[in-house]
Copies of this chain bind each other. A is one copy, B any other.
């Protein structure tokens, strides 16, 4: 591998300068963190699985007309992406009460929500990613009203698609987090889907047993984290393309 300029190292991924201007290479690490990175682990093979799952989902979303940053997968841990100006918001979409929504509103985990709910959190680890309302987003110029509308419409499309896709393989999409970025064309910015979609960023429950197949296994010390991520990939029918070492089981 040639020496490349590292642009940013995050908690789960590294961004390198890409081969063309306006591109980046997104490298998926095995590092796993939770609770503002106060809890950490290295889960062998996680980066490989998430790289593949995210490739698969971004590609499928692209085919229904949801524009994403994904260009192509380069190798086991890397994908080529379009560089975007990241909007500093985590967009969360929830179908079933879980996690912080359950805590904040005293609703038992697993309770179906009356309808899908979209939430915005400020991407700021130091401030512990506080929830924000549209009022804050527009007042502090984190995104425009038009961009909020675009993000919400895209998030609902992603939710519809993912709910269908996971539902078809016996998985309930409880909630997920996505990020968006701006692509500039002259003075006009378009919003596209960026970052990743993987068991790190979704709550995925087995539809029959409600068994968790996502990062909550790590957050809550439930064990079998990689096995669960692998099960998600297996059900999506993309395990056969994995290297033998991962197909054979990583632990």
Contact = CB atoms under 8 A, between A and B. Distances in A.
Grouping DSSP codes into helix (H, G, I), strand (E, B) and loop, the A interface class, with mixed when no group exceeds half, is mixed
Nearest to A120: B133
Contacts of A133: 119-120, 131-134
Interface residues of A, number: 24
A105 B119 contact: no
Interface in A124-149: 124, 126-127, 130-136, 139-141
Q: How many copies does the complex hold?
A: 2
A90 to B, nearest CB: 13
A104 B119 contact: no
Interface string A111-126: 0011101111010101
A243 interface: no
22 contacts: A104-B130, A105-B122, A105-B140, A106-B124, A106-B126, A106-B127, A114-B139, A114-B140, A114-B141, A115-B139, A117-B135, A117-B136, A118-B135, A119-B133, A119-B135, A119-B136, A120-B133, A131-B133, A132-B133, A133-B133, A133-B134, A134-B134
